[in-house]
Structure formats: structure tokens, C-alpha cells
């Protein structure tokens, strides 16, 4: 299985590139056709306004509704954003053809080489999301990558597809500090694994603890350090491991409302990525630290701040928090008004979290 | 040379452990002697008060002066911190013996298992720095590690010394997203390298660009992503590569006062680590982005904020900024009141920074 997968990997990467180039070409051709027909060229963009973002219970994430807006070169108030979007499609085409990576910030500055005007980076970021919506593809597909780094450790064999590394393989359990998750890892072919679960954990210190205590071997796990809110690259990789290797994903965070939301974003994304499906793992399970764990395990706590409490109230209005543990734990946080960090288990010894808490939660995850 | 180094690596790690255990034992024995002699036990701690922190021009970093303070169990106002420090030494001994890693936060929560009282983590953090000062050893030596992660890429062969990985080797150019820098990398044996320079860069996006453009091969470089202000683990590794492999270190940051200070901290540490020598690379060179580069390369800029300007004025009073480029560039920042990001070079094309700017700066670094 491994070798046949290996043979396919370079081909798949080529197909992906071909695919994005064809989609871009299609949009470019339409602009030319409009011009040939004596029409003002235009783009149709799925509307990303709040009124067009709805929660889809089946997909278990936010999606865009059917409203589309037109960005036309005929309308002088739309000419600026039409031009920006057209330039970006051109630039995305070049990045994809040359297989060069870039970042949101790179794109903003690159525009200046072409005398395309953006007031600031937030304006160009916004146009990049527009292009994602037009193409229905995440920006990583047209080579705009996040610059944050998280890391991964565990028995997973991958094969690189980026230029210069095609065909090279790596086992991700060889470097115990973890492999940084960037463009080469998220675009790699996932070959095989002996793991049976993925554990995403919020903090680097705990990641080290988990590696040191051989959680990967004892629980047949791939361990991912999200470094706080999981960057897009991490969420992409989590989804791919879940979908392609059929592994369940569990999330361990600090016991506070921000931790709960880190897990929710891994599970169902965010409203401003409602036009994408590549960043969510709807089956991901938040296993702790729950507000109820704080009481159950008598963890040392810190008082919630005003901003923590406000955040709880905000999330109560989010449909994703309307039932199940998501709702229940928010309510307990609001009642106890205390929070606890993952490291709080060190009160019972440094390995209490891996020896006692984790096995309980893994067992419980089966029934969640 | 490689194989003989390899043979020594496990031995060196053992010696390091033995060394820290002996120092701790020495302090413990002194406590017992005091008790046997009918004396109240005490610690002598190099004073870390501002008046005892001086800039040493020869070492090119802040150091502690000769003032020491006594933490005695006789004095009821010192009994609390004496007890905390004694417990921490006990706990450090256990961590070192068992070769378990921990973090500042772990130590805070672990204290609760022993009914040692700390009001909050900042109190325990402070005692940890006291123990560093007492032992003249960085806390990593007694197994308290930072949780931040940065990453490294380049032709450097290392050999792990942590339990379970002793004797295993790794070439750090095999994973193009970079190897996370954590406890296993900072404690590894550095075997050999074909590199002739180390380039520390502030941003993940540029790190990816540098790898993609094969800066490691073209300029025989090891590339390190500091991810903003370089974590202690990164500074430790930079120092080790510089000292043990005799490689020059250059630092590339955004063109602003915070970037200038990122470079300075790599070079000469910070006042609150004046008791340590393990975290500085006095020969490190800041090669850009300078304020003068902003003008020279006509880079797109952003106005400096009030806080940027205040920071410039603060640094002008720091003796390390009293001459050379450090002083000059601060003055130019204050005159132009503009700043520029590393990505600003993308105005001239995505590879302008690696094709044009970097070679100029590498040439110039030779004369700095």
C-alpha cells in the first residue's frame, strides 16, 4: 500500500496544481469573453455578509447562503475592488505556476510592484478571501500560506511533494521536539501510520510532556501542538489525517472559554471561513479540560476575568453552543466563574495528566 | 571526527547531569551542616536588584555585580522565600534525576502537591530565577524548559541525548518546514555541518521563502525562524552553534525598533538574565532591516506608533545602544518616524530579498 501511494503522490500534487490553474484560467477566459462581447467584465462573488452566513447542521459548520454579489468594472464604485481581485487572480496564477509560496503580507507588498493600490493589508486580506470564495478553494491552494508554526510528532510516514523534495519521505516520530507544520507538510502525501488517534493539545509544554511520557506509543497517538488557537495549516493537516487515514481527533485545551473555543474552531471552523470546507473536522471531540473537570478533579483555579465572562455570554448566542457539552460547560464556567490551566494537573504530579487524566478522557471520548 | 563526537555525546550528557546534581547536593549538604552546627540554614543569592546589574563591556552583556543577599531561615520575613527556594532546589534535583522536563507553569502547580505556597506564578517564576543565580546555571540545566517553539533548517547533523533517543542522529535539512527547537534539540550533541553561517530570521513566512529559495545551499547557511523575540531555547542553540561549530550568526528582523531589539537580545541577552552566560551570542550581527535600508531601498513603510517612538527613546538610555549602528539606526528611526517589514522587499518581487538584499548584507556583515 505504501509504495503504490508513493507512486501516486507526485501525480496528485501535479493534478492539484493543474486543477487550480484551470479554474483560474476559466475565470480569466470569461473576462476576455466579456471584453470580446463588448461587455464590462465582472466577477460573481458569494456574499460573505452576515446575513448570508448560516449554520449548517448537517455539515456542522457555518456555510454561505445563496446570495451572490457582482463586482463589475461597469460600476465605478466597484472598479477598484474589481481591479484588485483581477490582479490577485493573475498573481495567484503566477504563484501557482512557479510553485512559489507567499503570505498574506507578501501579497500586500507585491501589489505595489504592479501599482495596484491597497490602503493597507486588511484591504488586500479581504480581497484574498474574496478570491477564495470565487474559486471555492482555500488560499493555500494558490500558494498563500500562514506564517504561524505549530508542530507534530508521531508515527506517521509522509512523502513530500514540494519542488526539490518530491519523493522524499519522513517518519514524523524521529524528532522528539516535533516537526514544524508548514507548506511542505500540509501538501505532503500521507502514506501510512500505526496510530489510532490524533491528540491536538494547546500548549508546547504539554506537547513535550506527552512526547516524553510516550503518549504516542502508549496510546497509539499522533500528537499535535496547536500553540494556542490552531493555525490554518494545522487545521488543514488535522482534517487530512482524519479524512485520509480515518483517525479520530480529540482536542485538549486549558479549562477556560478560550480553550473551549479553540476546540470548536478545530471542529467547525469560523464564520469568516464559511466559504471553505478544508479547515474543519466536524467529528473532532473536545475532551477537556472541561469546567466540570475543574470541580471533579479539584484543580487549582484562577478567577475568570470580565473579558472571559463576556466571551461566555457571546458564545451562548452562537448556534454551535446551543446544546451538548458545549452548552453545558459554558454554563458551568459562568456558574463557577473560575478557570484552570492544563498544567494544573501537575498538582498531582507531573505525569498525572498522562497517567490518569488522559486515559479516562480517551475512554470517555469513545462515547462522546 | 563525526564518530568520535558521537561516542562522546551520551557521556557528555551524563556529565552535565552529574554536574548539576553535584551542585545541588552541595547546597543541600550545606543546609544539613548548618542544622548540625545549630545554625539557622541560609542561602546566599547574588543580588538581582537594578543597582547590582551592570553592563560589562568586555563580555558585551549585562552582568551582576558583587552584592549578594542572604535568604535566612532565621529572619521571619525571609522564611517564606527561603522555604520556597529550598523546595525548588529539591524539586530541581528530582527533575534532573528523573530526567523529566517541566515548564515555569508546571513548577507553580507542582508546588501545591507539596503544600508550598506561592501567591501566583510570578512569585514562583522569581524563585526559579533566584535558583539560577544561586547555581549560576540556566533553568534548562535543571529541566525547566520554555514552552515556545521556534524552528531550524539546514545541513546540521545532531545526536540526541534525551532518554529513549540516545545515539539517534538527525540531519536538520530533511524537513523543509523546519524542526521545532525544544529540549531535545538544545541538549543534543552538534556533530558536524557544511554550513558557514547562521541566519536568524524573525518571521515564519520569510523562513519558508529562504528554504524555498535554497538559501541554505546557495549561501551555506543554517536558517533559524525565531518567531518574533527569540525564545530562550533558540538563543541557547544559537550560542551553541556559534561557539561549538565556530559559525558566525547574523540576524534579520523587521525594520523597526522591536526588530532592532530582537537582534540585541540575541547578541547580549536581557538585564533580567544578567546572572547567566548561556543565552548570549556577543558576536551576533544585526544586518537589517535597518532604518537606513528603508531609505536606501525605498521600501514601503508604515508610520511608527507612539509606543514605537517611546521605545526608541527608552533604548537610547541603554548603554548597549550608545554607539555604532545600534545608536545610528535608532536615531534614523526617530528622524524618519517610519518603519518597514521584511516582506516590504516583495515590492520588488518575491525573491528580491534572497536574490539581492541578502547577498549585499552577507557581504557587508564581513566588515561589521
Tens digit of each residue's pLDDT (9 = 90 or more) over B158-192: 999 999 999 999 999 999 999 999 999 999 999 99
Q: Please give the DSSP secondary-structure letter assigned to residue B128.
A: H
Residues of A in contact with B117 (CB under 8 A): none
* Percentage, residues of chain A above pLDDT 90: 92
Q: Do B343 and A106 touch (CB under 8 A)?
A: yes
**What pLDDT does B147 receive?**
87
pLDDT in 10s for each residue of chain A, 368 residues: 445 555 577 788 888 899 999 999 999 999 999 999 999 999 999 999 999 999 999 999 999 999 999 999 999 999 999 999 999 999 999 999 999 999 999 999 999 989 999 999 999 999 999 999 999 999 999 999 998 889 999 999 999 999 999 999 999 999 999 999 999 999 999 999 999 999 999 999 999 999 999 999 999 999 999 999 999 999 999 999 999 999 999 999 999 999 999 999 999 998 889 999 999 999 999 999 999 999 999 999 999 999 999 999 999 999 999 999 999 999 999 999 999 999 999 999 999 999 999 999 999 998 88
- Cα–Cα distances (Å) from B104 to A75, A352, B82, in that order, read 59, 17, 19
- Choose among A232, A219, A237, A138: nearest CA to A178: A237
* Percentage, residues of chain B above pLDDT 70: 98
End-to-end CA distance of chain B: 32
Mean pLDDT of B10-24: 89
- H helices of chain B, in order, are 2-36, 79-98, 104-110, 121-135, 183-186, 204-212, 215-218, 232-245, 257-268, 291-296, 306-316, 324-336, 352, 358-365
User: With 60 as the cut, is the pLDDT of residue B1 above it?
Assistant: no
**What pLDDT does B149 receive?**
81
- Mind telling me how many Å the CA of A207 is from chain B's nearest CA? 9
Query: What does DSSP say about strands A249-252 and A197-201: parallel, antiparallel, or unpaired?
Result: parallel
> Best residue in B95, B146, B159, B176 to probe A by mutation, most A CBs within 10 Å?
B176
**What pLDDT does A147 receive?**
87
Question: B86-141: per-residue pLDDT in tens?
Answer: 999 999 999 999 999 999 999 999 999 899 999 999 999 999 999 999 999 999 99
- Mind telling me how many Å the CA of A178 is from chain B's nearest CA? 5
Edge-to-edge strand ranges of the sheet holding A169-171: A169-171, A156-159, A189-193
CA neighbours within 13 Å on the CB side: how many for A358? 30
Question: B128-139: per-residue pLDDT in tens?
Answer: 999 999 999 999
- Mind telling me how many Å the CA of B113 is from chain A's nearest CA? 5
User: With 70 as the cut, is the pLDDT of residue B63 above it?
Assistant: yes
Which three-class secondary structure state does DSSP give residue A280? coil
Question: B239-293: per-residue pLDDT in tens?
Answer: 999 999 999 999 999 999 999 999 999 999 988 899 999 999 999 999 999 999 9
Q: Do A350 and B209 touch (CB under 8 A)?
A: no
Residues of B in contact with A164 (CB under 8 A): 176, 214
Amino acid at each position: 500500500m505504501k509504495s503504490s501511494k508513493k507512486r501516486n503522490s507526485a501525480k496528485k500534487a501535479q493534478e492539484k496544481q493543474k486543477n487550480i490553474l484551470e479554474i483560474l484560467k476559466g475565470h480569466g477566459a470569461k473576462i476576455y469573453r466579456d471584453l470580446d462581447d463588448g461587455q464590462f467584465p465582472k466577477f460573481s462573488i458569494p456574499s460573505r455578509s452576515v446575513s448570508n452566513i448560516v449554520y449548517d447542521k448537517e455539515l456542522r459548520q457555518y456555510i454561505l447562503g445563496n446570495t451572490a454579489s457582482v463586482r463589475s468594472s461597469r460600476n465605478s464604485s466597484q472598479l477598484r475592488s474589481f481591479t484588485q481581485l483581477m490582479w490577485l487572480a493573475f498573481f495567484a496564477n503566477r504563484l501557482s505556476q512557479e510553485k512559489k509560496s507567499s503570505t498574506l503580507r507578501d501579497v500586500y507588498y507585491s501589489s505595489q510592484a504592479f501599482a495596484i493600490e491597497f490602503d493597507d493589508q486588511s484591504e488586500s486580506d479581504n480581497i484574498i478571501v474574496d478570491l477564495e470564495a470565487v474559486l471555492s478553494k482555500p488560499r493555500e491552494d494558490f500558494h498563500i500560506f500562514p506564517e504561524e508554526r505549530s508542530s507534530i510528532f508521531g508515527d506517521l510516514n509522509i512523502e513530500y511533494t514540494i519542488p526539490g523534495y518530491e519523493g522524499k519521505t519522513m517518519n514524523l516520530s524521529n524528532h522528539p521536539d516535533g516537526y514544524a507544520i508548514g507548506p511542505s507538510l500540509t501538501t505532503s502525501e500521507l502514506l501510512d501510520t500505526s496510530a489510532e488517534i490524533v491528540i491536538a493539545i494547546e500548549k508546547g509544554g504539554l506537547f513535550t510532556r506527552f512526547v516524553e511520557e510516550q503518549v504516542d506509543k502508549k496510546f497509539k497517538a499522533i500528537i499535535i501542538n496547536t500553540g494556542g488557537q490552531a493555525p490554518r495549516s494545522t487545521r488543514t493537516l488535522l482534517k487530512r489525517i482524519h479524512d485520509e487515514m480515518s483517525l479520530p481527533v480529540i482536542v485538549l485545551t486549558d479549562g477556560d472559554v478560550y480553550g473551549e473555543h479553540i476546540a470548536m474552531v478545530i471542529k467547525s471552523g469560523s464564520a469568516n471561513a464559511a466559504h471553505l470546507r478544508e479547515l474543519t473536522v466536524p467529528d473532532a471531540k473536545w475532551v477537556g479540560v472541561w469546567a466540570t473537570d475543574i470541580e471533579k478533579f479539584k484543580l487549582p483555579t484562577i478567577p475568570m476575568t470580565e473579558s472571559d465572562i463576556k466571551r461566555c455570554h457571546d458564545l451562548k448566542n452562537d448556534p454551535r453552543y446551543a446544546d451538548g457539552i458545549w452548552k453545558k460547560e459554558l454554563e458551568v464556567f459562568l456558574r463557577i466563574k473560575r478557570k484552570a490551566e492544563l498544567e494544573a494537573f501537575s498538582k498531582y504530579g507531573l505525569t498525572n495528566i498522562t497517567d490518569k487524566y488522559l486515559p479516562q478522557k480517551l475512554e470517555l471520548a469513545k462515547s462522546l
